[in-house]
Amino acid sequence: MNEILHIDLSYKRGNFALKMNLSIPEGITGVFGPSGSGKSTLLKLISGIETPDEGVIELNGKELFNKNKKQNVPLRKRQIGLVFQEGRLFPHMNVRKNLLYGYSEKSRFNFDEVVDLLEICDLLEKRPDDCSGGEKQRIAIGRMLLHSPELLLLDEPFSALDQRLRHNIIPFLLKITKKFGLPVLVVSHDLSDLLMLSDQLVLVDGGQIKGVGSYFDLIMNGENPCCLRHEPVVNSIQVEIKSIVQQNGILSFIYNSGWPDNLLTTENIQGIETDARLFFNLFPEDVSLSLSRLEGISAQNQLEGKLLQMKPDSRNMICRVDVGFQLLVRITARSAEKLNLEEGRKVYCLFKTSAIKNLFVVPS
């Protein structure tokens, strides 16, 4: 993927010191770490709210900051959109005026296009106080899009929202990157939300970067960074429904044309259609492995896959399996030995519909 943003900087205030060297590609990048680790400070440095003590910040090949060259592009000229967790809308203006505040007709994003994408047309004449938390977040994101940013920064966009509203926001962020090709950097202390969104993770702790890469690579390769050790391992999955199959009154879904025999069965979902996207979480310990499909068991999901990777985990074994989407499975080391598991082997991932958590659907 093309490099969009490069930073190599240091910053110190009081007892807190931050030193980071990082390159951000296209797509959505999640920044994860404990409170006080430097996540929000990083966004402020990139946007220009705060100024590094040393270093360089480059966006699309243009230097926004270079200490040695005494270059520091002002915040308003950086073409970076920063959305805070509370949105910071003007309460005395209606939504239309909030969106158009600072808007120029030279914007590369059309007003009607942004309003349609974020589904806020019915809110234009309302005041922010008459809107829900999720609606306010969409309005704040829309206002930043209309400023024609080359990069969108989101600081804890989910912290003030309940789970239902979080699930409403995530699809809009995915649509933004798909439709406009706009890179997004999202800070959150909620790992499952980030995994639903992100193409890659940046792990931050103590003002330093502890890891960069896909969640699967960070878990499976080398030692788990300390900021992941206290987090439960979780599969955050999104699949596109290719077709719907009804068997004995139960709806199942073909989600990958390359694996036509793999039927994903969930609890009943109303009004689901082909091309919709399913989002859900599945914990590794809720999945079992078998060398063949089994009869007479309660687990309705039996997905054929290829064992890609194995990693010892105390008395257990974490297995990385490709079933048309990647899945982490935790079994005992004894079970792995009994099954004679080895990388490259065909296996079946078995789990109950009740093991699928936080399921939601995004229409096509």
CA distances from 3 to 52, 91, 209, 217, 356 (A): 21, 38, 18, 20, 35
pLDDT at 172: 76
Per residue in 196-237, pLDDT (tens digit) is: 889 899 999 999 999 999 999 999 986 666 678 778 899 999
Give dist(CA 319, CA 328) in Å, integer: 6
Q: What is the pLDDT of residues 176-187, one digit of tens each?
A: 888 878 899 999
Percent of the chain with pLDDT over 70: 96
Amino acid in the structure at residue 141 = I
Dmax (CA) for the chain in angstroms is 72
Categorize the per-residue pLDDT at 174 as very low, low, confident or very high, splitting at 50, 70 and 90. confident
The confidence score (pLDDT) of residue 209 equals: 93
Lowest-confidence region among 72-76, 119-123, 134-138, 152-156? 134-138
Say whether pLDDT at 168 is over 80.
Answer: no
The pLDDT of 304-332, averaged and rounded, is: 95
Q: Write out the two tokens for 71.
A: 């270059």
In the prediction, which pLDDT does 68 show?
Answer: 96
Each residue's pLDDT tens digit, 234-257: 999 999 999 988 877 788 999 987
CA dihedral sign of residues 251, 256, 261, 265: negative
How confident is the model over 266-312, as pLDDT tens digits?
A: 987 777 888 888 999 999 999 999 999 999 998 999 999 999 999 99
Confidence at residue 364, expressed as pLDDT on a 0 to 100 scale: 72
Write down the pLDDT at residue 350.
Answer: 98
User: 3 falls in which pLDDT band (50, 70, 90)?
Assistant: confident
Q: How many CA atoms lie within 13 A of 71 on its CB side?
A: 13
Lowest-pLDDT range, 156-160, 161-165, 235-239, 289-293?
Answer: 161-165
Q: pLDDT band for position 13 (50/70/90)?
A: very high
Q: Which among 259, 237, 196 is positioned nearest to 356, based on CA atoms?
A: 237
Tell me, what's the pLDDT at 161? 67
Residue 170's SS3 state is helix
Inform me whether the pLDDT recorded for 117 exceeds 90.
no
For the chain, the average pLDDT equals 89
Ranges of H-type helices in the chain: 39-47, 95-100, 111-118, 133-145, 163-180, 191-197, 215-220, 226-229, 333-338
- Digit-coded pLDDT (tens) for 35-46: 889 999 999 999
For residue 16, the model assigns a pLDDT of 95
Helices 163-180 + 133-145 axis angle, to 10: 20
pLDDT for residue 177: 85
pLDDT-derived band at 1, boundaries 50, 70, 90: low
Contact status, residue 153 vs residue 47, Cβ threshold 8 Å: yes
pLDDT at 223: 66
- Using CA atoms, how far apart are residues 203 and 15, in angstroms rounded to an integer? 21
Rounded Cα distance between 240 and 310, Å, is 27
What per-residue confidence (pLDDT) applies to 137? Answer: 81
H/E stretch holding 11 reads strand 3-13
Residue 9: pLDDT over 90: yes
Reference 140, options 165, 109, 183, 169; nearest CA is 169
pLDDT band at 160 (very low <50, low <70, confident <90, very high): low
